[in-house]
Amino acid sequence: MADDQREVLTIGHSSHSMERFLELLRGAGVTAVADVRSAPYSRHVPQFNSDPIRTALRGAGVAYAHLGKELGGRPRDPSHYRSGVVDYEAIAATPAFRSGLQRLLDGAATHRVALMCAEADPLECHRCLLIARALAARGVPVRHVLADGVTTTQAEIEDELLRRTHRTDDDLFLTRAERVAVAYKEQAMKVGFSDHDLAS
């Protein structure tokens, strides 16, 4: 299947009710959810723990798979941290991540898949800064479903990333792609998981 036929979506469950979350999925035409949380649980919104969400999705005719082991943003391996913060580029280079990405693409060949994590804002989440970035680098179209149901492309998200990191101006010595790469690193250092929390 051609890349342009297997667009991948992302969504954050945030503090939505299950009814609202399912409404967002229906509005985007999602037929499968790939849960990319390292641990598929939430103390604050327990309706998004793995068993309740799997049941709710099944009732709505939406498939569910947990890919947190392969695509999660909170690795247990200390070598995947730099300066105390998770290093998304190190994760992206691992065989497990590449395998998880391929599983995701295989699923997207037959389903309209949404990557699900917790954060409402894609730029606060590894689903965008790690996974969607890797998909886009492979030529796979990515759209992010926002809390209001509006969708935005990965390219539009990168424009916003440049604004947030104050890298929108042309740089004599850096191409746009280079500025985006630096901005990804800066944003990841701001929002990435800290190794101080590994023991918890």
Query: Residue 126 corresponds to which amino acid?
Result: H
E runs forming strands in the chain: 8-12, 32-35, 63-66, 81-82, 85-86, 113-117, 142-145, 151-153
Kindly list the domain boundaries of the chain, sorted by start residue: 3-197
Per-residue pLDDT at 195 exceeds 80: no
- Alpha-carbon distance 75 to 111, whole Å? 27
Asked: is 3-197 a CATH 3.60.20.10 domain? The reply is no
Q: What angle do CA 77, 180, 29 make, to 5 degrees?
A: 80
For 89-106, the pLDDT digits (tens) are 999 999 999 999 999 999
Report, as an integer, the average pLDDT of 33-40.
97
- Alpha-carbon distance 72 to 199, whole Å? 17
Percent of residues, the chain, with pLDDT higher than 90: 87
Backbone angles phi, psi at 104, to 5 degrees: -60, -45
How many other β-carbons are positioned within 10 Å of the β-carbon of residue 11? 25
How many other β-carbons are positioned within 10 Å of the β-carbon of residue 32? 18
Contact assessment for residue 46 and residue 54, using Cβ atoms and an 8 Å cutoff: no
For 118-165, the pLDDT digits (tens) are 999 999 999 999 999 999 999 999 999 999 999 999 999 999 999 999
Joined together, the tokens standing for residue 58 give 């099944």
Report, as an integer, the average pLDDT of 42-67.
96
